[in-house]
Amino acid sequence: MSAPPSARTASAPLTPARKARERDVPPQLVHDPHETRLRLLDAAEALFAEHGYKGVSLRTITGKAGVNLAAAHYHFRNKEGLYRAVFERRVGPMNTERDTLLAACVAAEAQTGALDVAAVLDAFIGPSLRVGALPGGETFRRLSGRAAADPSPEVRRVVYELYDPVAMRFVEVLTRACPHLTREDLFWRLACAYGAMMYVRADSGRLQRLLGDDLSMADSAAAMHHLIPMLTAGFALPSLSAPPAEKKKKAK
């Protein structure tokens, strides 16, 4: 009957049961301290990735997790809370890695005097693709890729709150790294980089359909190896602003 303890701040489990867990505790006797939570997160991650936020019901999720329907509301307050918790579990470490790599870029700048665009792109895109290498990370990679285009307000809220702060830091550094580009140039090149990253993340299978081969986007090292040079070459191009409205002028 008591109020759900961890529902309002799903990222900070303060439960006594958790505290007991972190001490010694015979591991056989406590067979389900937070097991229900974990089963829900895993089932939700897989189902959201496959069918989208509106495409899955809590009944399907709790069914796959083998737990009661009400458990989802007990642990996560509501459907959006469960969705957000799925993201928080993965995005935290990912953002940490992003920040670490970005700091390394800025540190290198102090020595060489210039920012390496390829390294900045690597620091931004790399962690977001490497989550696929973690156990269970592959499905989350697809989930987050699809979330980028999901119009549901619940999804937009989660994506904005979790990704925006770090993304803004990268935009700032990239702006400094590309002094030859106008704000408009940067806008379109970022659109290209962001779109490519999200498309690889989502891995909709469309290209495999079109090419017919048995190619895969799962290998994050291969993805980085091909993507970074392409995008870096794009950012290296000179500014393209200004001329689009004119009709005929001799080139440059």
Assess contact for 98 and 163: CB atoms under 8 A: no
Cα–Cα distances in angstroms (integers) from residue 50 to residues 41, 69, 141, in the given order: 14, 20, 11
List the one residue from 9, 11, 32, 100 that touches DNA (CB under 7 A).
32
In whole angstroms, the minimum distance from the beta carbon of 187 to a second copy comes to 5
Exposed (0-12), middle (13-18) or buried (19+): which is 208, by Cβ within 10 Å?
A: middle
- Does position 123 interact with DNA (CB under 7 A)? The reply is no
> Does residue 104 interact with DNA by CB under 7 A?
no
In the bound state with a second copy, the residue whose beta carbon lies nearer, of 15 and 232, is 232
The four Cα atoms 218, 222, 228, 231 give a dihedral, to 10 degrees, of -60
- How many C-beta neighbours within 10 Å does residue 137 have? 17
CB of 204 to a second copy, least distance (A): 6
112 binds DNA (CB under 7 A): no
Distance CA 192, CA 246 (A): 24
The reply on whether position 38 binds DNA by CB under 7 A is no
In the complex, least distance from residue 150 CB atom to a second copy, rounded to whole angstroms: 7
Helix axes of 117-130 and 79-112: crossing angle, nearest 10 degrees: 150
**Cβ contact 145:48 at 8 Å:** no
Q: Measured from the CB atom, is 87 or 235 closer to DNA? A: 87
Considering beta carbons, is residue 115 or 231 the nearer one to a second copy? Answer: 231
96 binds, among DNA, a second copy, none (CB under 5 to 8 A by kind): none
Half-sphere exposure for 93 (CA within 13 Å, toward CB)? 9
Residues that bind DNA (rule: CB under 7 A) add up to a total of 40
Partner in contact with 161, chosen from a second copy, DNA, none, beta carbon below 5 to 8 Å by kind: none
Binding residues for DNA, rule: CB under 7 A, are 1-6, 15-21, 25, 29-37, 56-60, 67-75, 78-80
